[in-house]
Structure 1
Amino acid sequence: MSFSLKNIFSLLLFFQLCVGNGQTADKIKTAYQTKNGIDKVAFYEKLNLNQKRAYRDFFYLNFPKLSSDEQIKSNKKAIIRYKFALAEVYNIKEDELKSIEVLKEIQNDKDYKLSDSENMNVLVGLQKSYLNLNLYSTVFKINAEIAQLRKKGASFPLWSYNIKSNLYARLFLYDKAIPQLKSEIAELIKNPKRDSLIVPSAYNDLGFYYAMNNQIDSAYHYYTLALQKAETAIKKSDFETYNRLSGVVKGNIAVLKIRQNDYKTAVSLLEEDAAIGIKNNDNNSGTIKSIILLSGCNIHLKNYVEAQKNIAKIEELMPKGISPETKVGYYKAKAELLKFQNNKDEAYAYYEKAFRLSDSINSVKQRLLLAGNDILYQLEQKDNVIEKQQSDIDRKEKGILYIVAMALGIILITTLYYLRNSRKKRKEIEQKNNLISAKNDTIKESLAEKEMLLKEIHHRVKNNLQIISGILELQNLNISDENAKIILKEGQARIQSIALIHKTLYQSENFSKVPFQSYLTELVQAIQDTYRNAQLKIDTIINANAIELSINTAIPLSLIINEIVTNCFKHAFIGRNHGTITINLSKEDAIYKLTIHDNGNGLPADFNPKTLHSIGFDLIQGLSRQLEGTFDWKNENGTTITIIFKDTIS
């Protein structure tokens, strides 16, 4: 089974959300049902965030029924308190539009004066919902309002400590998310009101961000620190919660092991995590995702019997209900196993199911987004009506104040005469400052929108290229001619090398330049996964630090590197059990030099690419000319290919 970074990211994200509670489901549900009215709200408020997440379906079904409870309806304070809890229930269930609607009702209730603390809770709730809807411009505006309240001394909800770092992570800006989360953790440690679970969870998140930033050693460090903190803080007092968190962190470590091809270690970690999920029986989709990973590891280890057992366990758990995204993962895992069992027709059928369901999920999301925009528009219209009503009241009050001011003006006329000139100048300065500030805000907002659009463009191009690659993979399953299969596989590799360029760009802060050290690391890893040979160990050395190239240069150069490195893996080390490939990309003045060397068998003595009639070498030479570069090769302790070129800016 192939583990793309996109798949691993999704599963890592799942591990971040699976920490459960310290009580059984029956215990919490029974306790809730024994309460009445506002006591049910109080019971819900005392649960920790992970308990609320674990029983999101139960509260989503039962909590809205309290809207007709007479005890709550008879007291304004109780109504507001209930609405805060209801908005959180909707947010945890990911029904963001309902959550926003309830919070807006609280915000626009003119019969109730919100305290600074309550106003903070409204803003934080809106912030979470708009963030989940990817409405980042609105999140930025709310962040500014929150900052003003914090300056006034309003307390910030403890479990919302990571909103800023989470926002950076959503935008794939892990270099910014990491220091931001570290500063948030430092504030948590100073806060005596924190609960015992929050710091270990935060270190787990920090490990996740390092993992997504390809800083593996740091990721391991913080995952280990999360386990240590959890053992000290909660193991004795709440072993079940500790056990769940331990499973989550070990699941995250398992994903790192998968990325390092250490499938045996990953299997033991995933088995422990899956066992915890099956025992607690409160996150069926999460448990199945863990077993999907486990199946992939067993396929890589050629433990097909164990992989079959994993698939059987998934099929046993599926009737209890899973998300459509999880079902897509199951179809792909099933198809991978069938492919390795040489059941290509059935494998193709499951790949097709996965493709169709994934397409259906995207269509549903688009419809929900359109519906969401319509509801958000209606909410804004309601806000406008309320603002107009308030404006009418303000005008009447201003009329009364005007009469009083006229009376006072007769008394103060002499004083105002002397102050008028200085006041007029001060007002002009304030107006100019406000105008400059408004223009700056508009410029910042416009820049942010353009950055988001560029990121989306690169993201969509990458997705479209991956769809083409997937179609080629499906076509490959139905072809028996081995030469044709090889040609399709090479075509896929070339498409993936271009898709990787666009992925690197949308994860980068600079959308016009491709950072080649990280790009080459990921490209070579993908080629190595494709041509992996258990009897041959190939080491790769990449030196391209500080080299950034425009997309017009990066795409042909990536195709050249893909062709050369692929040839190294396929042909350079035949009859050997070890080899090394070295890639150097350097710059002197405006000239770039690419050197790729392998210590393999070398090229034939009569090798001449001009008479070879090879598609690969024709492509390398043609793309070198496109870069206005030179192409050279030599046999010396293996093969060395050198390409000298310039960066094409436009």
Structure 2
Amino acid sequence: MSFILKNIICCLFLFQFFIGNAQTTDKIKEIYTSKKGIDKIRFYESLTHRQKIDNREFFYQNLPKLKSDEQINTHINSSMRLKFVLADVYFIKEDYLKSIVVLKEIQNNKDYKLSDSKRMSVLVRLQKAYLNLNLFSNVFKINSEISLLRKKGVDYDLWTYSIKSSLYARLHLYDKAILQLKSEINEILKNPKRDSLIVPSAYNSLGYYYSMNNQIDSAYHYYNLSLQKAETGLKKNDWESFNALYGLVKGNIGVLKMKQGDYKSAVPLLMEDISIGIKIKDNNSNDGIVKTIVYLTTCNIKLKNYTEAKKNIELAEQLMSKGISDETRVFYYRTKAELLKVQNKKDEAHIYYEKAFNLSDSINSKTQRLLLAGNEILYQLEEKDHLIEKQQSDINAKEKVTLYIIATALGIILVTTLLYLSNSRKKQKEIQHKNDEISAKNETIKESLAEKEMLLKEIHHRVKNNLQIISGLMELQNLNISDENAKIILKEGQSRIQSIALIHKTLYQSENFSKVPFQNYLSELIQAIQTAYNNNQKISIDVEANEIELGINTAIPLSLILNEIITNCFRHAFKNRESGNITINLTKENDIYRLIVKDNGIGLPADFDPKKLQSIGFDLILGLTRQLEGNCEWKNDNGANIIITFKDIA
């Protein structure tokens, strides 16, 4: 089928969808407007989640007006129902801070006398809102409260089953996300109240986590398992949800094919996802469809189908006006730039690369602002909580005084007969109370350590991201420079920055934040250098680091030293040769470490002395070696041989 014919079919689907959806939306607005007071709340509660999403802007503007309705405000139950509805509307509109404020009002209002099931509902909604604001410490706190209610047998929303695994995934800890999600799926499978969508949806998420963790075979397995579960359980019960999930999984498999470089196989899968997405399209957002179309554009660029790629990007541009996330817009800009680049439109490509970079930087700034605003509001809410607690404490104190007077009078009468028993019980209670305090403190310490581990990983991840942004700036600068010497200097700077970024990446992917496993680090560093200096030579590299781990104060200088030596090998050691070999050996004897880097190339000049060279690279090597309280030697031994001894600096 030609691309033009596909576009005609897509337009027909869009036309039919918009007509049908507009009628449904107008009808909902008409019914809501015709009702009054509490009936408006009842009508909203009766809508499906899909209908609420399709009309979120309307409800976001109109439902808050009910706060001034006297009839609702004078009835406790009606007032509470309105607040639950408002929290839901704000959440669907992605105004998570407002949603949190309303939920905290429900939580703190003693007149509402929340049942355990209502309290569970408030906690689950708070949990989702905190997660979307990346306030992870608050998510941990809510998790503990939900666990206590679940132990009491309180029902909870099954669709919140994946909060913990989602939290790990947001921190890019996909190994932990996979283990956690498998545990969550086992719990869901035991629950007879689950619906037919939840299990295939969970297996799709598990496939995605394996994909992000580069475990391709496992990703295929769980994507296919998701389709199988959907075919056997979901298709006959809920065709619309089946169709949506089917398209999503097909698109995910298409992206997996792209990851393997099999762009030809990815094309029909992505087109199938696009076709299904258009049929069931969200009236408020084209984000998912646009993202898939941009993936399709990438495939056609890689397959050198530039005409088709141009048509793809134009179709994406037609849909960009409605509900597109900033992340998808960055993806579109970069892909558009790639297409212009292969069409030799370098100036236009540069404009889109710059747009992508600026918007990506804006996203980071927006996230930081949102976190600051969230923390400020949470501080205000906590202040209110403290005030309420103080008022309650004052009431309790007065009650305690009254009870104390009564108890004293009774105690005087009974003291002679109950003294021994009273003392015995008091000691038992004190022992039990202390045991309870110790257990509670141990649990708090355990949760605090887990939370700090998460946050420390996030810090290393953000440092790595910031270094990559700097590298990206240098790459943009490189595009505008014609002087080859300047290009080489910028490329060397990028390489040095990447070597430090890899240290932070290795740290947040490891279990021990104080030590860098150098065997893993060297493998990634070498791969990055091979990619940067690929000149069609067959150069093999053998690494032996003997499971050595170094502190970050030693790892960063040593990473820069290694980057300079290996880069020099690639650039100079194998001139006019088709192949070569580099060996890297890192050993430890007592407190002294020895690094040997040897190649079988042309070797060093006979009068070679780096101290007399005007070379930033060798100045850097010698300076950093001194920083490590070490010594640097060099010699020819069937090629260059550099030996560095150093200490692990605390």
TM-score range, shorter chain: 0.7 to 0.9
Q: 1:632 to 1:31 in 2, by over 3 A?
A: farther
In the alignment, is residue 344 of structure 1 matched against residue 346 of structure 2?
Answer: yes
Greater mean deviation of Cα atoms: 406-415 or 151-160: 406-415
Counterpart for residue 366 of structure 1: 368
Question: Where do 1:209-608 residues align within 5 Å?
Answer: 209-282=209-282, 283-402=285-404, 404-406=406-408, 408-409=410-411, 412-430=414-432, 432-433=434-435, 436=438, 440=442, 447=449, 451=453, 454-516=456-518, 518-527=520-529, 529-530=531-532, 546-559=547-560, 562=563, 603-604=601-602
**One-letter amino acid of the structure 2 residue matched with residue 603 of structure 1:** G
Q: Which has the larger radius of gyration?
A: 2
**What is the Cα deviation at residue 58 of structure 1?**
5.5
Range moving further from structure 2, 324-333 or 216-225: 324-333
CA distance in 1, matches of 2:255, 2:636: 40
Residues 624 and 643, structure 1, Cα contact 8 Å, conserved in 2: no
Are the aligned partners of 1:621 and 1:631 in contact in 2 as well (CA < 8 Å)?
Answer: no
Q: Is the CA contact 1:609–1:617 (under 8 Å) kept in the aligned structure 2?
A: no
Shift of the 342–465 alpha-carbon distance from structure 1 to 2, 3 Å rule, reads: same
Q: What letter matches 2:355 in structure 1?
A: K
CA offset digits 1:294-347 (Å, max 9, x no partner): 333333333333332233222212223423333333333333333333333333
**1:113 aligned onto 2:109:** no
Write the distance in 1 (CA, Å) between the matches of 2:247 and 2:538: 33
Find the aligned partners of 1:381 and 1:95 in 2 and give their Cα distance.
Answer: 22
Q: TM-score, normalised by structure 2?
A: 0.80
CA–CA separation in structure 2 for the residues paired with 1:312 and 1:531:
35
* 1:559-597 alpha-carbon deviations (Å, 9 max, x no partner): 4655676678778999999x8989776767668787889
Please give the secondary structure, in 2, of the residue aligned with 1:549: strand
User: What does residue range 64-103 of structure 1 map to in structure 2 within 5 Å?
Assistant: 64-65=64-65, 67=67, 76-103=76-103
RMSD: 4.2
CA contact (8 A) 1:550 1:647 kept: no
Using the TM superposition, give the Cα deviation of residue 388 of structure 1 relative to its aligned residue in structure 2, in angstroms.
Answer: 3.2
Q: Secondary structure at the match of 2:172?
A: coil
Deviation string, structure 1 residues 101-156 (Cα, Å, up to 9, x no partner): 11112112222221111111112222222233333333222222222222222122
Asked if 2 retains the 8 angstrom alpha-carbon contact of 1:335 and 1:351, the reply is yes
Give the corresponding residue for 1:189: 189
Residues 196-254 of structure 1: per-residue CA shift (max 9 Å, x gap): 11111111222222233333322222122112212222223333322321232233333
Distance of aligned partners of 1:123 and 1:470 in 2 relative to their CA distance in 1, 3 Å threshold: same
Q: Which runs of 5+ in 2 are unaligned?
A: 1-16
Report what 1:171 is aligned to.
Answer: 171
Task: Tell me, in whole angstroms, the C-alpha distance in 2 between the residues paired with 1:379 and 1:185.
Answer: 35
- Once residues 259 and 267 of structure 2 are traced to their aligned partners in structure 1, the CA distance between those partners, rounded to angstroms, is 13
- Displacement after TM superposition at 1:377 (Å): 2.4
In structure 2, what is the Cα distance between the partners aligned to 1:481 and 1:371? 46
Q: Structure 1 counterpart of 2:221, which letter?
A: H
The equivalent residue for 2:203 is 203
Deviation (angstroms), 1:195: 0.9
Task: Give the partner amino acid of 2:423.
Answer: N
Look up the match of 2:151. Answer: 151
1:141 is matched with which residue? 141
Question: Structure 1 length as normaliser, TM-score?
Answer: 0.80
How many angstroms apart in 1 are the aligned matches of 2:311 and 2:569?
38
Contact kept in structure 1, 2:540 and 2:580, CA below 8 Å? yes
Cα deviation digits, residues 395-448 of structure 1 (max 9, x gap): 444455445545644554344312232234234434544664576567557655
Q: Retained in 1: the 8 A contact 2:564–2:621?
A: no
Find the aligned partners of 2:343 and 2:531 in 1 and give their Cα distance. 20
Distance 1:292 1:585 in 2: 44
Report the secondary structure of 2:319's partner residue.
helix
Aligned residues of 1:168 and 1:177 also touching (Cα < 8 A): yes
Aligned partners of 1:491 and 1:360: how far apart in 2?
25
Distance 1:426 1:296 in 2: 71
Pair 1:222–1:502, CA change in 2 (3 A): same
Closer, same or farther: CA 338–111 of 1 in aligned 2, 3 Å? same
Aligned position for 1:4:
none
Secondary structure of the structure 2 residue equivalent to 1:514: strand
Distance 1:443 1:546 in 2: 31
Displacement of 1:185 after TM fit?
A: 0.4
What amino acid is aligned across from residue 236 of structure 1 in structure 2? Answer: K
Report the residue type matching 1:481 in the other structure: D
How far apart are the structure 1 equivalents of 2:90 and 2:48? 16
1:7 maps to what in 2?
A: none
In the other structure, the counterpart of 2:8 is none
Instruction: Pick closer, same or farther for the CA change 1:159–1:344 going to 2, 3 Å.
Output: same
> CA 1:294/1:439 → structure 2, altered by over 3 Å: closer, same or farther?
same
CA shift for structure 1 position 546: 4.9
Alpha-carbon offset, residue 476 of structure 1: 0.9
Structure 2 residue identity aligned to 1:341 = Q
SS class of match (1:322): coil
SS at match of 2:250: helix
Matched pairs, number:
621
CA gap 1:647/1:203 in 2 versus in 1, 3 angstroms? farther
| Greater Cα shift, 449-458 or 329-338 | 449-458
1:29 aligns with 2:25: yes
2:168 and 2:177 in contact (8 A); partners too? yes
SS at match of 2:516: strand
Question: How big is each residue's C-alpha offset from its partner over 1:146-191, in whole Å with a ceiling of 9 and x where there is no partner?
Answer: 2222222212221111122222333333333222211110110111
2:251, 2:571 → 1: CA distance?
34
- Greater relative contact order, per chain length (Cα 8 Å cut-off, separation 6+): 1
CA distance in 2, matches of 1:24, 1:631: 77
Structure 1 residues 433 and 219: CA distance shift in structure 2, 3 A: same
1:370 & 1:355 partners in 2: Cα distance? Answer: 23
Amino acid of the residue matched to residue 359 of structure 1?
D
Identity %: 65
Secondary structure at the counterpart of residue 134 of structure 2: coil
C-alpha distance 201-442 of structure 1, shift in aligned 2 (>3 A): closer
Q: Quick one: structure 1 residues 124 and 435, their matched pair in 2 at CA, closer, same or farther if it must change by over 3 Å?
A: same
- Corresponding position of 1:10: none
Q: Specify whether residues 301 and 209 from structure 1 end up closer, same or farther in structure 2 by C-alpha distance, changes over 3 A only.
A: same
Whether the 8 Å CA contact 2:290–2:319 is kept in 1: the answer is: yes
Is the Cα contact below 8 Å between 1:472 and 1:488 reproduced in 2?
Answer: yes
Contact kept? 1:288, 1:314, Cα under 8 Å: yes
Q: State the AA in 1 paired with 2:387.
A: V
Residues 1:56 and 1:606: Cα distance change in structure 2 (over 3 Å)? same
Q: Distance in 2 between matches of 1:47 and 1:523?
A: 54
